[in-house]
Chain A
Amino acid sequence: MIQLENLCLRNGSFELNDLSVKITNGSYGILMGRTGCGKTTILEAICGLRPHVMSGTIWLNNNDVTELKPAERGIGYVPQDSALFETMSIFDNVAFALNLRNWNEADIQKRVYELAELMAITKLLDRLPFGLSGGESKRVALARALAASPGVLCLDEPLSALDEQTHGEICDLLVELHREIDVTILHITHSSAEAKRLGETFIRLEDGQLNEGSLE
């Protein structure tokens, strides 16, 4: 569950006021809006990153996380540019959250291979991120975000800048993920085709206001 209550945000000189919205547990939420209207700012606020929360509350799975550090919120975050850890192998990228949680070696191996199978990146595990294609990077970033089984998955335009075929593949992957894994997803996009294909809850950000509703 993702719920914003009268949230006021500031990021530099950019401000968003009085945002309220709710995405129910296990639902696939789509956040749409024009470029530069503040979609990413909202996503980052949910993740606890840069934007400064001036007032209001953020609820994730019935917990008030407004004051919590990003590490304590139980989220998976896939930024637009994937931001894979350049100096680590794909395996270490995926295992990053597990290593932090002091899992033992065998469990980490098992979990990473399980996710790698799901994302079809088993062949890449020994490589460094340098030179991965856009689609492969997205898959790795997804696996990395899901490794510690977060309750909420935040996807910032995960399908932009991909060629048509890869776009379709990742789309299929997201559908499969949503079916297989119990996680609430917030997906930012400006493509209504994507929204139609994936979404269950639709939110539009227009003139600084969040409007819940249908696609049309």
Chain B
Amino acid sequence: MSSTPTPDSPSQFRPKSDTAFFFGLGSLGGFYLFLIISLILALVIVPRWGKSDETKLLLMSPSIREAIKYLEAANQKANGTVVAIGLEQALKETRLLDEPPFDGRSMADRINYISAEARSLANIKLSELVKKAESGNVDIERELGLAKNSLLDAVAIDRPSDYSAVFNDPRIRSSAKLSFVSCTISALLSLWVAVPIGYTMSRFQFRGKNFIDTILDVPIVLPPLVIGLGLLILFNNISFGTMDVTYFDRDGSQYIVQENRTIERMIKQAGESFGLQLRITNGAAGVVLAQFMVACAFAVRTMRNTFDQISPRQEEVAMTLGSSRGEAFWSIVLPQGYRGLMAAGTLAWARSLGEFGPILIFCGINAHRTEVMSSSVYLQFSIGEIEKAAVVSLLMIALAFVVLLLVRNLGKSDAAPQR
């Protein structure tokens, strides 16, 4: 007996629940959001804040007392040996640190005095004593080592906060300045190039368009490092014949050497004839060039998409009404592409800020000249100053945040000009 299907009625049919779908959306999206936020939080938590002077004094004294304890132990062992006098002296000085004579000095001065004395005690006097003890066959090396560590612990408490250390570092200040300026310049340059290329690729059909399209994508696909290498080779290893280069000796005498005629040398020579010191490789101009090479490819892509989305019909109408292609572009297309223009500029700027590999290869890291913030992060990290690296990273995040916010608001208020 076959069962006839009953017709659907609202009361019988139940669509599948949406819970799983929304749970998927929330959990996958939320997971990434969580990662971003915890990453920023980690950068915020790691750098140390400065301590108050009272806290510093309070924290220093246990370490110093510990040092005294170890020195006393060493003193007992070393009684009557070659190191006894020196050890006695060191012990005396260390005791002075714990109870500095009250002479009306401010707390900050006392901290300065303690940390300077403790540092010289630990690094100079105790080190000498260790050597003496060794040569005198006195077995107090362990005690001295522990005392030294305790003294350095006390010194470490005097450390300024990582924030003030970074903000007051002239080197990092100038790297922040260079980052901001070079990113802005390369973003503007990128737009200047990306708008005409994007428009051409979007509106016109011509032979070899696919090939050009592929070439334009190369900087996106290529590792940025390779772009830096390519620039370095282009400017310094490709030669067009030879040229005379004047070198100056230390005593002021000059001599002329025949060198390869590279682009870098030609630029330098051209600059000299105008009385200018021009350099691309290892110079700020090179930083901009390296950033531009990568950022521009992204700007081109964005501008092309922007123009693709604007119907050519409006330009065509404008042309029938009497405008030239150029007039139609300026009055019809560009105002409509304003948001895309902003997006392309922002993208180029952000890419430039994060650029590191090509700058490292093409320009190196020279303080006050080619060091940008990403290089600063790398430098701080490589010398073990993870906290300072985190502060510089935070500075980058803050800078990017402010710029992105500004540009976004600019895009909003001007997107549709009112009459």
Please, which residues of chain B bring their CB within 8 A of the CB of A92? 419
Cβ A71 vs Cβ B336 within 8 A:
no
Please, which residues of chain B bring their CB within 8 A of the CB of A70? 316, 319-320
Cβ A83 vs Cβ B322 within 8 A:
no
A144 at the interface (CB under 8 A from B): yes
Please, which residues of chain A bring their CB within 8 A of the CB of B40? none
Contact with A along B294-334 (1 / 0, CB 8 A): 00000000000000000101101111111110010001100
Distance (whole angstroms) from the CB of A132 to the closest CB of chain B: 14
B402 at the interface (CB under 8 A from A): no
Given contacts A85-B332, A89-B419, A126-B419, contact A47 B320 (CB under 8 A): yes
* Secondary structure call for the A interface: loop
Given contacts A79-B313, A83-B311, A86-B314, contact A96 B320 (CB under 8 A): no
Distance (whole angstroms) from the CB of A68 to the closest CB of chain B: 11
Interface size on B, residues (CB 8 A): 22
A97 at the interface (CB under 8 A from B): yes
Cβ A79 vs Cβ B316 within 8 A:
yes
The contact of B324 among A71, A83, A84, by CB within 8 Å, is A71
Interface size on A, residues (CB 8 A): 35
Please, which residues of chain B bring their CB within 8 A of the CB of A73? 320
Given contacts A71-B324, A92-B419, contact A87 B319 (CB under 8 A): no
Please, which residues of chain A bring their CB within 8 A of the CB of B7? none
A49 at the interface (CB under 8 A from B): yes
B107 at the interface (CB under 8 A from A): no
A117 at the interface (CB under 8 A from B): no
> Which of the listed residues B313, B314, B317 has the most CB atoms from chain A within 10 Å of its own CB?
B317
Cβ A71 vs Cβ B314 within 8 A:
no
Cβ B322 vs Cβ A77 within 8 A:
no
Given contacts A71-B322, A92-B419, A144-B321, contact A100 B327 (CB under 8 A): yes
B interface residues with partner A (beta carbon < 8 Å): 311, 313-314, 316-324, 327, 331-332, 335-336, 338, 416-419
* Secondary structure call for the B interface: helix
A145 at the interface (CB under 8 A from B): yes
> Which of the listed residues A69, A75, A83 has the most CB atoms from chain B within 10 Å of its own CB?
A83
Cβ B320 vs Cβ A71 within 8 A:
yes
Cβ A87 vs Cβ B336 within 8 A:
yes
Cβ B419 vs Cβ A85 within 8 A:
no
> Which of the listed residues A48, A89, A100, A147 has the most CB atoms from chain B within 10 Å of its own CB?
A100
A128 at the interface (CB under 8 A from B): yes
Contact with B along A123-157 (1 / 0, CB 8 A): 00010101000000000010011011000000000
Cβ A77 vs Cβ B317 within 8 A:
yes
A33 at the interface (CB under 8 A from B): no
Q: How far is the CA of A128 from the CA of B322 in the complex (A)?
A: 22
Besides A83-B313, A89-B419, A96-B323, 10 new A-B residue pairs in contact (Cβ under 8 A), listed by A number = A47-B316, A70-B319, A76-B320, A81-B311, A85-B318, A87-B417, A96-B318, A96-B331, A141-B317, A145-B317
Given contacts A77-B316, A81-B313, A128-B416, contact A87 B321 (CB under 8 A): no
Query: 28 A-B pairs, CB-CB below 8 angstroms?
Result: A47-B316, A48-B319, A48-B320, A50-B316, A70-B316, A71-B319, A71-B320, A71-B321, A75-B320, A77-B317, A77-B321, A79-B316, A79-B317, A83-B311, A83-B316, A85-B332, A87-B332, A87-B336, A87-B338, A87-B417, A89-B418, A92-B419, A97-B322, A100-B322, A100-B323, A128-B416, A144-B321, A148-B321
Please, which residues of chain A bring their CB within 8 A of the CB of B416? 87, 128, 130
For B323, give the chain A residue with the smallest CB separation. Answer: A100
The contact of B316 among A49, A96, A145, A147, by CB within 8 Å, is A49
